[in-house]
Amino acid sequence: MNEFKRILRLARPHVSKFLLAMACMLAVGVTTSALAFLVKPALDGIFLAQDTTNLKWIPIIIIVMYFIKGGCSYGQTVLMNFIGQRVVTDLRSDLYNHIQRQSLSFFNKNPTGILMSRITNDVNLIQGAVSEAVSSLFKDSFTLIGLIFVIFYRDWKLAIIAAVVFPLTIYPIAKFGEKMRKVATGTQVTMGTLTSMLQETISGTRIVKAFGMEAYEGKRFSKENEDLFRLFMKSVSIRAISSPFMEFLGGLGIAAIVFYGGYQVVQGTSTPGTFFSFLAALIMLYEPVKRLTNINNTIQQGISASTRVFGIMDITPEIRNKEDAEDLPRISQGIEIRNVTFSYGDEPVLTNINLDVKVGEVVAFVGMSGGGKTTLVNLIPRFYDVTKGQILIDGRDIRDITLESLREQIGIVTQQTILFNDTVRNNIAYGDIQKSDEEIVSAAQSANAYQFIRNLPKEFETVIGEQGARLSGGEKQRLSIARALLKDAPILILDEATSSLDTESEMEVQGALENLMKGRTTLVIAHRLSTISHANRIIVLVGGKIIEEGTHDTLLAKKGEYFKLYNMQFKDNNL
């Protein structure tokens, strides 16, 4: 139950509303009990004694009781749902922000669809536990206490007979709750898998169609969907059986009471009013008991969901600021990679890397795929932390620097262009949407993007679609470059920024990249070696180690690994 306690702690800021809601619940319980209590004076005083005084005031009291009960029921419903929705809204925001603060390794381990399921489905189940379950728990408990008082006050012997049935309900309630929790856990796992599958297949629809795998993906989806259906029906079955089972146990108690109570009335030891007042209270009593059974199921679902949500919330980001971390001034000297080794698991991806990059220098990294080029540059903005060694900027270990100030100094343009389903303007200004129109236009012009933007239906206010679906590859890349230009970071990382483009688009983008690189310390990962002949130095990485270093001409003259790579690319052109 620790998870449920954590859920309740989230409601602490709303304690005043909760106390007011509890007052309303108490009023509902009292008025419900009072209505059962009024059965005796109504039956004995009006119908048997034919007392006109009772005939006048009892109906008025009944109207007042129902008015109070209805108003308080409305108040507690609104207040508890406010608390529940507020808690869930805050929890969803906290969960989203916590996920955003995680390092890249976290996202490598947790599929997008699973995380989406945590933020949507799991959090919604928690809302049910906070508002519906807690509300009914208190309201029905107050009603239960009031009605128990009525039945013991009216006839304690009959009350004892009724009480015999209640212990019989404890075991099935516990068993139903246990089964519901298991089903709820399975349902959320399946829902997460289903969401992940949807995210993958919809975002990768071109590949699915290109390989004719629509039927295959349909079967995969159908399997998970059927599993979800079966789990849902198990949940329905548990809910459906718990209610009539409780009613049956209640029926046993009522049958025994009708027999014994009727016998007392026949013998003259009790009045019809007393008996029917007792019976009314007892019938009312079984309703909150039945609801409490279903509440337990809702709570179990909420606990199951909260276990998964808090499991994410309890993950500490691997990459975070030290307590004494300081801001990094704008780079003035350079970047030093000192004895760096890095591994994702047991096998090192990079081994004993040493490299100095001076301010304003253009350094290119080349090598076969899997050599560690992207991994190396990802260590500089601390997407990952080194396993051994240090990375220093102006002589300061980047682990001693705040992440915010470090990443402010780094602009990145990658092969996989990441754009958002927003306007051209907001995509360029991403990172600082307060940039002026003049600055945005200037960045677009320097990125050779201004002309095609002017041809769009709404120019800079055109919404470009998911991942820039309405733009060509070259246009998307130039927007990405414009975004980096507007950031004006002194360190620039280009990760195969032109490798996926055709020749014409590459020329446009290459011109934009040259504008972007001016005056910046630039690290270039290149697949096409023709794009890095101007680099101050070229670093050849093979198997996570630096095996060659030099200019384009000196490396060709060595006739080593770079020479082989160069000839592999240009042999068809006799270069």
| Arithmetic mean of pLDDT, 139-161 | 77
pLDDT greater at residue 570 or residue 328: 328
| Arithmetic mean of pLDDT, 483-491 | 83
Say yes or no: 408 and 462 in one domain: yes
Say yes or no: 351 and 307 in one domain: no
Say yes or no: 135 and 284 in one domain: yes
- What angle, rounded to 10 degrees, do the helices at 156-165 and 214-267 form? 150
Say yes or no: 137 and 265 in one domain: yes
Last residue of a domain, one of 313, 342, 358: 313
Residue with tokens 């159908």: 222
Say yes or no: 378 and 284 in one domain: no
Please report whether residue 327 resides in a domain: no
Rounded distance, CA 548 to CA 562, Å? Answer: 8
Lateral strand order in the sheet of 388-393: 348-358, 334-343, 388-393, 396-397
At residue 169, the pLDDT reads 60
Say yes or no: 408 and 305 in one domain: no
Domains in the chain: how many in total? Answer: 2
Kindly report, residue by residue over 13-37, the tens digit of the pLDDT.
888 888 898 899 889 888 888 888 7
Rounded distance, CA 344 to CA 350, Å? Answer: 10
Please report whether residue 322 resides in a domain: no
Please report whether residue 329 resides in a domain: no
Instruction: Read off the pLDDT band of 503 (50, 70, 90).
Output: low
Instruction: Read off the pLDDT band of 574 (50, 70, 90).
Output: very low
Say yes or no: 339 and 306 in one domain: no
Distance set, CA 290 to CA 161, 246, 247, 248 (Å): 19, 6, 7, 11
Say yes or no: 132 and 94 in one domain: yes
Strands 348-358 and 362-366: unpaired
Residue with tokens 């100095």: 356
At residue 575, the pLDDT reads 43
By the 8 A CB rule, do 288 and 167 touch?
no
Closest of 373, 411, 320, 317 to residue 499, by C-alpha: 373
Percent of the chain with pLDDT over 70: 84
| Arithmetic mean of pLDDT, 33-58 | 75
pLDDT greater at residue 48 or residue 355: 355
Instruction: Read off the pLDDT band of 572 (50, 70, 90).
Output: very low
Say yes or no: 282 and 350 in one domain: no
At residue 187, the pLDDT reads 78
Q: Residue 486's domain spans which residues?
A: 334-573
Examine the pLDDT at 501 and tell me if it is beyond 50.
Answer: yes
Please report whether residue 7 resides in a domain: yes
Percent of the chain with pLDDT over 90: 2
Say yes or no: 361 and 274 in one domain: no
Per DSSP, the residues of 378-414 read HTTTTSS--SEEEEEETTEEGGGB-HHHHHHTEEEEE
By the 8 A CB rule, do 95 and 289 touch?
no
CATH number at residue 134: 1.20.1560.10
Examine the pLDDT at 246 and tell me if it is beyond 50.
Answer: yes
CATH number at residue 400: 3.40.50.300
Last residue of a domain, one of 252, 278, 313: 313
Last residue of a domain, one of 313, 347, 366: 313
At residue 210, the pLDDT reads 58
Examine the pLDDT at 209 and tell me if it is beyond 80.
Answer: no
Say yes or no: 535 and 484 in one domain: yes
Q: Of 7-21, 268-282, 337-351, where does mean pLDDT reach its minimum?
A: 268-282
Q: Tell me the one-letter amino acid at 40.
A: K
| Arithmetic mean of pLDDT, 314-343 | 87
Instruction: Read off the pLDDT band of 244 (50, 70, 90).
Output: confident
At residue 167, the pLDDT reads 59
Examine the pLDDT at 162 and tell me if it is beyond 60.
Answer: yes
Length of the chain: 575
Examine the pLDDT at 206 and tell me if it is beyond 80.
Answer: no
At residue 332, the pLDDT reads 86
| Arithmetic mean of pLDDT, 233-261 | 72
Q: Of 154-168, 304-318, 457-471, 541-555, where does mean pLDDT reach its minimum?
A: 154-168
By the 8 A CB rule, do 525 and 375 touch?
no
Please report whether residue 151 resides in a domain: yes
| Arithmetic mean of pLDDT, 177-200 | 74
Please report whether residue 323 resides in a domain: no
Please report whether residue 321 resides in a domain: no
Kindly report, residue by residue over 350-360, the tens digit of the pLDDT.
888 898 989 88
Say yes or no: 515 and 470 in one domain: yes
Please report whether residue 328 resides in a domain: no
